């Protein structure tokens, strides 16, 4: 692991997710830019002190020199955005699989470069868009792919948070509101990319055009903390995306609604085990996690019998497990299952970076409608 030191919450989430199915062992790490904090974290985790490193460069260099049966196989990068690309690049170039938190890189140019490096490396890369790991999100995708809603016409997706409703100072807030560490976007990069990814994943469509209203509400803040975006999809459907970190009182209730010719569906994280389907000329249906009537993707990513809540940690763990299953299949010269292959990777990362570039450009422009696929790719 790179990052995830004493003051970082997401590193602990990644470690729990990796450990849940017994498919990973944490064997080494560079947990902080501070050598002493890295050593402190390694001690807490019970690691061999010789494999707790002062920097990610040292870790990658030293691990690459170990025999194949001893060296680390997968490197998980859980650092702020500006420290995603170089560790991922070095890991791939030295023969390691990569897991990286979103957004995939600091810029679109870096994301495109990483794709080229990944292709040459013949390794795998997982991008942890957590919400695609929920069983009922996968069921929603499968219902739409089967044509059960008919042609998709409308997509609404929202991610409201309230934790940045006022100026606060802590490690999490500091780097997320710092353009030198976060990039050109604040809320839209941090949580808007999740909403964007969820809209494309569930609908099976591609967002090709957008019109954004981007706001910085808290005085003195350097990046956006609120916004709403009109969307156009490649099949002609339209939609609305909302991402806000100044929605006082809100926690993390990600929500998506999709409507087609025959009916609609909705899912929200605060009731993650439930998927609601409403039809034009049929009774409403309620799908639940852990039941026998859901599709193979939802079944493969469910862990407990119906009625036992499965949440954020399990969704995160599903991404780790599917990624591990693909690597194990590769090692055994086998073809991974379609369910295992259902994890976000470099293409989703590039799409997310295009979204960030385009949404900020639209928010700053008087010409609001911009094509998402090519407008700012060369900037």
Domain identity same for 99 and 33: yes
Residue 285 sits in a domain of what CATH number?
3.30.360.10
Q: Is residue 372 part of a domain?
A: no
Domain identity same for 320 and 229: yes
Domain identity same for 138 and 115: no
Domain identity same for 165 and 232: yes
Domain limit, last residue, from 88, 123, 158: 123
Q: Using the predicted structure, report yes or no on whether residue 56 has a pLDDT greater than 60.
A: yes
- Report the distance separating Cα 197 and Cα 212, nearest Å: 16
Q: Is residue 227 part of a domain?
A: yes
Q: What does the pLDDT read at residue 369?
A: 78
Residue 58 sits in a domain of what CATH number?
3.40.50.720
Q: Using the predicted structure, report yes or no on whether residue 375 has a pLDDT greater than 90.
A: no
Mean pLDDT of the chain: 96
Q: Is residue 205 part of a domain?
A: yes
Q: Is residue 128 part of a domain?
A: no
Q: What does the pLDDT read at residue 372?
A: 80
Nearest C-alpha neighbor of 359 from the set 195, 237, 222, 205: 195
Q: What does the pLDDT read at residue 93?
A: 98
pLDDT band at 81 (very low <50, low <70, confident <90, very high): very high
CA 121 to chain centre: 22
Q: Find all residues with CB under 8 Å of 117, minimum gap 6, and list them.
A: 89, 92, 93
Q: What does the pLDDT read at residue 377?
A: 54
- Domain containing residue 297: 133-362
pLDDT band at 374 (very low <50, low <70, confident <90, very high): low
Q: What does the pLDDT read at residue 148?
A: 97
Q: Is residue 76 part of a domain?
A: yes
- Report the distance separating Cα 165 and Cα 257, nearest Å: 26
Using a pLDDT cut of 90, give the percent of the chain over it.
Answer: 94
Domain limit, last residue, from 105, 123, 141: 123
Q: pLDDT of 257-295, one tens digit each? A: 999 999 999 999 999 999 999 999 999 999 999 999 999
Q: Using the predicted structure, report yes or no on whether residue 379 has a pLDDT greater than 50.
A: no
Nearest C-alpha neighbor of 267 from the set 188, 195, 165: 195
Q: Is residue 379 part of a domain?
A: no
Domain identity same for 300 and 228: yes
Mean predicted confidence (pLDDT) in 229-256: 98
Q: Is residue 246 part of a domain?
A: yes
Domain identity same for 314 and 358: yes
Q: Using the predicted structure, report yes or no on whether residue 145 has a pLDDT greater than 70.
A: yes
Domain identity same for 278 and 172: yes
Q: Using the predicted structure, report yes or no on whether residue 193 has a pLDDT greater than 90.
A: yes
Q: pLDDT of 310-359, one tens digit each? A: 999 999 999 999 999 999 999 999 999 999 999 999 999 999 999 999 99
Domain identity same for 236 and 102: no
Q: Is residue 371 part of a domain?
A: no
């Amino acid at each position: 692991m790179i990052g995830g030191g004493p003051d970082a919450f997401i590193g602990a989430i990644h470690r729990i997710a990796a450990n849940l199915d017994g498919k990973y062992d944490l064997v080494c790490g560079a947990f902080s830019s501070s050598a002493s904090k890295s050593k402190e974290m390694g001690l807490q985790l019970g690691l061999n002190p010789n494999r707790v490193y002062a920097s990610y460069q040292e870790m990658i260099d030293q691990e690459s020199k170990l025999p194949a049966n001893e060296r680390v196989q997968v490197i998980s990068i859980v650092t702020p955005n500006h420290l995603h690309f170089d560790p991922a690049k070095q890991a791939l170039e030295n023969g390691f699989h990569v897991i990286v938190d979103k957004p995939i890189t600091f810029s679109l140019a870096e994301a495109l470069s990483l794709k080229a490096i990944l292709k040459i490396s013949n390794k795998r890369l997982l991008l942890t868009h957590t919400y695609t790991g929920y069983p009922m999100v996968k069921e929603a995708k499968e219902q739409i792919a089967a044509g059960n809603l008919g042609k998709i016409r409308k997509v609404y997706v929202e991610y409201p948070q309230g934790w940045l409703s006022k100026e606060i100072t802590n490690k999490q807030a500091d780097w997320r509101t710092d353009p030198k560490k976060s990039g050109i976007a604040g809320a839209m990069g941090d949580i808007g990319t999740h909403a964007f990814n969820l809209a494309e994943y569930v609908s099976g469509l591609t967002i090709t055009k957008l019109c954004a209203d981007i706001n910085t509400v808290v005085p003195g803040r350097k990046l956006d903390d609120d916004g709403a975006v009109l969307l156009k999809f490649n099949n002609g459907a339209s939609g609305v995306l909302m991402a806000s970190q100044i929605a006082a009182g809100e926690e993390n209730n990600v929500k998506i609604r999709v409507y087609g010719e025959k009916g609609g569906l909705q899912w929200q994280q605060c009731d993650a085990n439930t998927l609601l389907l409403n039809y034009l000329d049929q009774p409403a249906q309620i799908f639940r996690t852990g039941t026998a009537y859901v599709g193979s993707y939802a079944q493969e990513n469910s862990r407990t019998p119906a009625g036992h809540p499965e949440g954020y940690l399990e969704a995160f763990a599903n991404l780790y497990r599917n990624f591990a299953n693909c690597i194990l299949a590769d090692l055994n010269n086998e073809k991974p299952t379609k369910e295992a292959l259902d994890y976000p990777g470099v293409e989703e990362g590039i799409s997310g970076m295009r979204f960030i570039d385009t949404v900020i450009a639209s928010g700053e422009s008087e010409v609001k409608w911009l094509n998402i696929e090519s407008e700012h790719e060369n900037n």
